[in-house]
Amino acid sequence: MSPAITVLLHIERAEHYVRQAHESWNAARPERCIECLRHLQNAVSEMQQAQRAVVPGEGPAEARGRLERLRQDIGLLGKLVDAANAFYRGLAFHTGVEEPAHSVVEG
């Protein structure tokens, strides 16, 4: 498989995970926040693989734009997940209930 096709496959997978993250996002349900976070982590992993597969000067022309859009989408959803998890951590602190999730999204 050519490097260009490999890059595009990873981007398509990342886009799929971002769509799943959007679909699963629900700030009112902690379990959905966790599900969204898992999808985002998978998307970040696919993006990293796409970036490693890029051959300088030979990458598909659309790859850069698609990766940038993914980076923006993941950043926005990551902030929403972090905010929701911070809310639930605060709620757990004030009520003595165990924290529902730890959140770390890098991308």
Average pLDDT of 85-98? 74
What tokens were used for 17? 């995970």
CA distance 75 to 80: 9
CA distance 106 to 33: 16
**What's this model's pTM, rounded to 2 decimal places?**
0.78
The predicted pLDDT at position 16 comes to 98
Question: CA dist 14 to 24, 69, 75, 98, 104, Å?
Answer: 15, 11, 13, 32, 17
| Residue in the block written with tokens 């209930």 | 97
The predicted pLDDT at position 98 comes to 58
Average pLDDT over all residues of the chain: 85
